[in-house]
Amino acid sequence: MFQNNPLLAQLKRNLHAKIPRVEGIVKSTERGFGFLEVDAQKSYFIPPKNMKNVMHGDKISAILKIEKDREIVEPEKLIESFLNRFVGKIEKKDNKLFILPDYPFLKDFIICRLHKNCIDVFETGDWAVAKLIQHKLNGHHIFCAELVEEIVKSSSPFIPWWVTLSRHNIEKKAPKIEKDDVLLKENFNRKDLTYLDFITIDNINTKDIDDALFIEENNHGNLCLTVAIADPTAYIEKGSKLDVIALKRGFTNYFPGFNIPMLPRRLSEDICSLNPNERRPVLACCITVLNDGNISNTVNFFLAWIKSKAKLSYDNVSDWIEKIGDWTPTKKTIENQILLLHRLCLLRMKWRKLNAVLFQDSTEYRFQFSEAGIVEDIVIEKRRIAHKIIEESMIIANISAAKFLSKNLGYGIYNIHAGFDAVNAENVVTFLKNYNLKFTAKEITTLKGFCNLRRVLNVLSNNYINSRIRRYQSFGDFSITPSPHFALGFLEYATWTSPIRKYSDMINHRLLKSIINKDQNIVKPTENIKLKISEKKRRNRIAERDISDWLYVLFLQKKEFKNKKFNAEIIDISRSGIRAKLIKNGANVFIPALFLHPCREDMIFNQEEGIVFIKGAICYKLSDLITVIISEVRLHTRSIIARIDR
């Protein structure tokens, strides 16, 4: 008699509506229980029995209950699964296939089957791309995945690269080239500058050479710099198949051990590359730098042919300038180019130190591999004077391009950095008062004020203060309209000097060439293209970091590093411990609270201030130099656990 009773149905709806529910993201722990994070301040406990029906990262709706005077939640409805397309490691048992998702908090194997189009044969230890097709909250009694394709066999030494690239949907190979791609598509008039002594300075193994320089001194003692940039857009028509591929890739990716080019290698490393003694089409600009370091307002952009007279390396040029080593320029004309470029570099560095923002040298690390692809060592690479020569020359060129685009079009692809927003500016001012540094929020949100702050901090040279201030700064981005780049200290900045490696630079090339050729049908870049480039850059950086973390773990899990002492710098304070960077090789390690002090109740981890208090006293802070010992290397999570050496 109660079947299809509308009153009963209404009663059920009313009861269901009265049951308290919450929505949030599932966060699992190593001890089996979890939490449902509703927002940054509120989370609810998920008992181990309830965690069996969800996965870390799932967005769910849950019923809120009280058990033993404690609020808990019972997962009820899946809103969005954390796993959709994912990568994982295969386990084969009793002719059944299982996959372990490659995420630190997912530790259970998922039974899987082959997708109908997948013809790969899987064995234990192989890696694959999979898709979750059954979730327990959707009424299934088990989680189940479908294997889409194989990534790499268990025996391959290139697992860190291929797995990471598959996870981030990044191409693994160079684009294919077709016969038409090697043909010059333009018939513009170009100046013949093949008689000038252009030189290139790069890493010794660089093949995709995209910038060449020629410099001379005029009658007034000013330096006239001609920057010649490889011109791939002379071969790649806008909207062509290869252009679409370049936009999709966005950048040439430089990963430890090798690169994956944005363009076919035949173009990027041969036809377009400014190889020595080869006639090449270029987009060029001639810039005069005055005796006081200022850039003249008269900048000339034009199309040309050049022929590089020498392919030089950073180390050789630096050695020669620093008067060490045996290398010397092969010709007097090449020697003169190096001397004038060095003079220009010092002039501009002095100008930027006084008028803009001069970078502090950062330490970079390079993995050294065996022929089999195994990490043999990790070495420090310092930026030397030849690196700075090229850097200053490219900065000059990019400032000039930004002004040229703004004056003639009012748009392009600009590199921007907003400095501090209003809230963070106030935080910075409050923080600096503790060190008797008096600034106002209004002041440091202007380009001039920001630059002045950076110059003061450079003189102060306090690593803790610098670390704190950097955390308040905004991130760099792209814009299609002119906007300041606070981190560099310029009103506008637009790169065009790496078109072989960056699609954004290809766009600026086309715009610059359109102005030169007085094109009346110039198309403004869209906001959508800018967003695509920004997202691709972000994804590439994450992939590079993930590969490096994996390689560090493989390198440091060797027995020789067990219980070995390392000097390290504290780079982050979290709620549960300290993150530090090993100075010798750049690896990031985590030091749990337990390894800092035996009693957790005595400790306060202040993330905002970057300080660890123990019994009320400051014991550790950002930028502190400490000595650590590697305690454990976890391959699955790609994490390195260390303890303080006492």
Residues annotated as catalytic are: 202, 208, 210-211, 314, 501
Instruction: Determine contact, residues 85/147, Cβ cutoff 8 Å.
Output: no
**DSSP class of residue 417?**
B
295-307 and 279-289 beta bridge pairing: antiparallel
* Pairing verdict, β 127-134 and 144-152: antiparallel
Question: Residue 485 carries which DSSP code?
Answer: B
Q: Is 502 helix (H, G, I), strand (E, B) or coil?
A: strand
Reduce the secondary structure of 583-621 to three states and give it as a string: CCCCCEEEEEHHHCCCCHHHEEEECCCCEEEECCEEEEE
Residue 150: what residue type?
E
For strand 59-67 and strand 21-28, is the pairing parallel, antiparallel, or unpaired?
Answer: antiparallel
DSSP 526: P
Q: How far apart are CA 541 and CA 543, in angstroms?
A: 5
Contact 181, 265 (CB under 8 A): no
Helix, strand, coil % in the chain, rounded to nearest 5: 30, 30, 40
Distances from the Cα of 292 to the Cαs of 344, 350, 353, 454, 640, in angstroms?
Answer: 11, 9, 13, 22, 50
Cα-based distances in Å from 94 to 109, 119, 128, 141, 219:
14, 20, 19, 21, 84
Helical residues (DSSP H) of 229-331, grouped into ranges = 241-249, 265-266, 314-321
Alpha-carbon span 289 to 319, nearest angstrom: 26
